Chain A
Amino acid sequence: MKNPFKLSLTQKQNYAGYLWISPFVIGFILFFFAPMLQSFRFSVSKLSFTPDGYELAYVGLENFKYALTVDPNFIQYFTETIISVLVNIPAVILFSFFIATLLNQEFKGRTLARAIFFLPVILTAGVLHELEVEDLMYLTTQDESNVLFSAAMVKNFLLDMSLPQGIIDYVIMAASNIPQIIEYSAIPILIFLAGLQSVPSHLYECAKMEGATGWEIFWKITFPLVSPLFLTNVIFITVYSFTAPGNRLVEYISSLTWGRGLFGVSVAMSLMYFLAIGVILLVVGYIIERNVFYME
């Protein structure tokens, strides 16, 4: 008879799986889940330091009220950041997909071009962004009046083409964000590039035999097969922009904590920010997930 307490080799090995992932489980509980619970508590408390630790006093929704009604900057930075995330997502996705298809073609100097497009990953350091705020030379490259002047010309041109106002405004907004879009695109470009190269070549051969044009091949083969990566990249960009150096809301929240000691308020602000981003991710993820094609 089979002994119910004796494990087969596979079962034994599967239990060993817990051992392998145990570092993460321990870390998740101690350094992630517990702090998260604490931060919920902090958001409804006032924190004060005592000689041997800190104390929490329950204040209800006082911190949220402070953030929304008293604080002079929060609402402005909050809406600005959310809008810039919303503007950036489609722009970065379209831009990086386009660049990836370009870089996937054969041409001279392709390696160099790829190396340069990936350079922003190396060059984005938080401390550089901090210093650039008071950098005279950097500011001349960001000259607003210059940008606005050329934007006005482009706008007139687009208006003459009688495009809808909404699209024009979006193009202008995205165009004035180009440096940021390029910076965010570095890794999405790589992900798309890898996806493009993993499309099985026999599909292309087959399509060519049947007489498909390049345009048809792109829309009927390349695009559907790469489409799951749109979701990966949307998630990546949204997550990346949380911590990306130069995020004004994040910098402001940090300044409240470390500059003015408003721990409870800044946790409450982070919480609202997290909820907003979470909603965006869910909605965008849902829309994309429904329109994505999986090969399996």
Chain B
Amino acid sequence: MSVVLKKHLVNWSWVIVRSVLIIGLCFLIINPVFVKLSTTVMTEEDIFDPTVQWVPRNFNLSRIGKHYLDVAQKMNYVRSTFNSLVFSLVISICQLVSCTIVGYGFGRFNFRGKGLLFGLVVFTLVVPPQMVVIPLFLNFRYFDFFGLLKDGGVNLIGTYWPLVLTALTGTGPRNGLFIYIARQHFRGMPRALEESAYIDGAGQFRTFWKIMLPGALPIMLVIFLFSFVWQWNDIFYTSIFMRGGMPLLPFSLRNLTGQYHWSISAEYKTIINNTGMVLFILPLLVMYVFLQRYFIESIERTGIVG
């Protein structure tokens, strides 16, 4: 056998193995989404029917449309999606602002105790949130402005405040990671940029705003996207701090079957819940289709690895 032929054979067999692996794994990831989608168009009989795999026997577009509308109405979909959107936007913008500022401080300045303070940032990442969330809940439940108010304080649970306050101070969920990303980025910017701005008479804030921020926009987009997605999907913090607050999408999804009569069958519950789940991930999926490039190219630019 000629050497060239052998090389081709080896090459091609590797291509085949690789394609099988990648296609198979991609299928594993997408399969649950397809199962959910196909469940939403089923009727109760289809779920019993073992011959039905993807497309149900009683496929009827107008019935499906009605079913979706019904579920969306029971979830109060428009209103809770809007609420969730505003809520996630506000929180993630707060996190973006604070993490960029703190990251800039860690990336560009040398001060005493910097290593120790940055160690604390990492520490907030490593401590499981269950450790702090109960005292934090009680502090916000009886919020006394750090001892300034008497008589038990104000109840901040169910308002934006607990999550806004933690976001603005860079101690929200996984904010340490964002600070880390921002710091890595600012650390890599050339000193000369800053120095020339100082020589031209710009103050510190102006240098940050006019010189450093424009260069950091891609990184800020990354931080914003991650923060938004995690906030949207979160139920752990949200369910604790937004207890009894306004209707948000995860809450309406959680209570969806409660909106129906108690006697509905487990099969029907499955269909309803799947429809709810599809509606829940829909906004994020739409966003992902348009912004997927930024998510993926992002980490390569963040300097996490540099």
Q: Is B292 among interface residues, defined by CB-CB distance under 8 A?
A: yes
A16: min CB distance to chain B, Å: 6
B contact residues around A27 at 8 Å (CB): 98, 165-166, 168-171
B39 touches A197 (CB 8 A): no
Q: Is B236 among interface residues, defined by CB-CB distance under 8 A?
A: yes
Interface size on B, residues (CB 8 A): 93
A141 touches B128 (CB 8 A): no
A194 touches B130 (CB 8 A): no
- Assembly CA distance A178 to B25 (angstroms): 10
Of the stretches A86-94, A123-131, A204-212, A286-294, the one at the interface is A123-131
B contact residues around A263 at 8 Å (CB): 134
B contact residues around A242 at 8 Å (CB): 128-130
A137 touches B305 (CB 8 A): no
- Assembly CA distance A179 to B106 (angstroms): 38
Q: A233-244: contact bitstring with B at CB < 8 Å (1 yes, 0 no)?
A: 001000100110
Known: A107-B15, A141-B32. A20 touches B101 (CB 8 A): yes
Central interface residue in A123, A141, A182, A235, by most chain B CB within 10 Å: A123
A117 touches B26 (CB 8 A): yes
B contact residues around A24 at 8 Å (CB): 98, 102, 117, 120-121, 169-171, 179
- Assembly CA distance A204 to B277 (angstroms): 47
Closest to B30 in A: A116
B contact residues around A123 at 8 Å (CB): 32-33, 281
A-B pair count, CB < 8 Å, reads 256
A194 touches B305 (CB 8 A): yes
Known: A23-B98, A30-B146, A54-B142. A39 touches B131 (CB 8 A): yes
B47, B136, B280, B284: which contacts A31 (Cβ < 8 A)?
B136
B233 touches A130 (CB 8 A): no
Of the stretches A58-66, A67-75, A166-174, A273-281, the one at the interface is A273-281
- Assembly CA distance A134 to B101 (angstroms): 44
B positions within 8 Å CB-CB of A: 15, 18-19, 21-22, 25-26, 28-33, 35-36, 39, 47, 98, 101-102, 104-106, 108-111, 114, 117, 120-121, 124-136, 138-139, 142, 146, 151-153, 165-166, 168-171, 173, 179, 198, 204, 229, 232-236, 240, 250, 253-254, 266-267, 269-270, 273-274, 276-277, 280-281, 284-285, 288, 292, 295-296, 299-300, 302, 304-306
Known: A119-B29, A137-B270, A194-B299. 6 other contacts (CB 8 A): A54-B142, A113-B22, A125-B250, A141-B31, A266-B130, A267-B131
A positions within 8 Å CB-CB of B: 9, 13-21, 23-28, 30-32, 34-36, 38-39, 42, 51-54, 99, 102-103, 105, 107, 111, 113-128, 130-131, 134-138, 141, 178-179, 182, 187, 190-191, 193-195, 197-198, 229, 232, 235, 239, 242-243, 245, 250, 253-254, 257-258, 263, 266-267, 270-271, 273-274, 277-278, 281
